[in-house]
Amino acid sequence: MDGDRVEIDGGIMEGGGQILRVSTALSCLLGLPLRVRRIRAGRSQPGLRPQHLSGLEIVRDLCEGKLEGGEIGSTEITFTPGKIKGGTHIADTKTAGSVCLLMQVAMPCVLFAASPSELHFKGGTNAEMAPQIDYTLMVFKPIVEKFNFTFNCDIKKRGYYPQGGGEVVVQMSPVKELSAINLTERGTVTKIYGRAFVAGALPIKLAKDMSAAAVRCIRKEIRDLYINIQPVREPDDQAFGTGSGIIIVAETSTGCLLAGSSLGKRGKNSDKVGIEAAEILLKNLKHGGAVDDSLQDQLIIFMALAKGVSRVKSGPITLHTQTAIHFAEQLTKAKFTVTKSEEEDPSKDTYIIECQGMGMINSNL
């Protein structure tokens, strides 16, 4: 069997947990045995962290596969997938490891399961170095559902760094196949809205300050739109621990959604948190892409699996996106091309990511 294992170098390109997420999900979907070496080789703490291990374990459980080398700090794993089945599964990082990243690895798999799934993800909902759950619900969900599937995501409890303790429940039904998407018309910004939140021991004033600072920052560039960033205090029974942050979403005339977000931390001025999110949003609007820089790489695996040609206009291609494309092409028959977009406006820096999808069919249905 080992002769047929796909060999993945986990230390190249972006060199992080994303390589594991993309390659194990595709291994599970395609029934390809996998070996990943040099896992997170260049990171300050190389090898598997709790969050990466939870992601591997949920994929293993989803398809009754075999995982070897699955322990914290391990720099090499082998994974032998079985048949994907639905049902209820739990992934618990037991840390503030991101539930959104667990969702990224599990979701493509359960789309091609034999029956509906209910996935319980436990960890951080609003954590550093990962999308916030609000981004997942407000931006990722409506856009990824254009591939012609739907899912339900219920936030049971929010959890923050360092303890985690959050939980979200995702329910989804399998599909026969995914449709290609075309996200190439950015349109004009019609709405800007969001939420600035505090939880635990923090006063609502911090949320109001984040919101006000973000609005002031956006106002300098965009004067004629009402900007609605709600300051909220998470109810105590719906949040574990103490945290704060903000997400701001711009909606366009063509239904594009682009965002900027930021998290508060001890010693970080709340105005700075709001301004940081506003600046990320403005940068995402400035490049002229139809998706923001965080969404780019999250769409790659779905484009690779879909039937037909998908086209997405984006800003400059991130290293995460280049990495996802590299491994999607290595593992599937999908073919990606990235071309500089010919724009009338020379100030725009946009690219077209095109993919001839492999047309994955769910043989269970």
Residues comprising the binding site for ATP? 104
In whole angstroms, what is the distance from residue 25 CA to residue 109 CA? Answer: 6
Binding residues: 104
**Which one is catalytic: 52, 89, 287, 320?**
320
- What are the percentages of helix, strand and coil residues in the chain, rounded to 5? 30, 30, 40
In whole angstroms, what is the distance from residue 365 CA to residue 348 CA? Answer: 44
User: Count of H helices and E strands in the chain?
Assistant: 9, 17
Strand (E) or helix (H) holding 211 = helix 204-219
Strand (E) or helix (H) holding 353 = strand 351-356
In whole angstroms, what is the distance from residue 196 CA to residue 232 CA? Answer: 6
Return the amino acid letter for 66: K
326 flagged as catalytic: no
- Interior CA angle at 90 toward 295 and 21, to 5°? 35
Q: Which two tokens stand for residue 273?
A: 């948190």
In whole angstroms, what is the distance from residue 109 CA to residue 28 CA? Answer: 7
Catalytic residues, which ones? 320
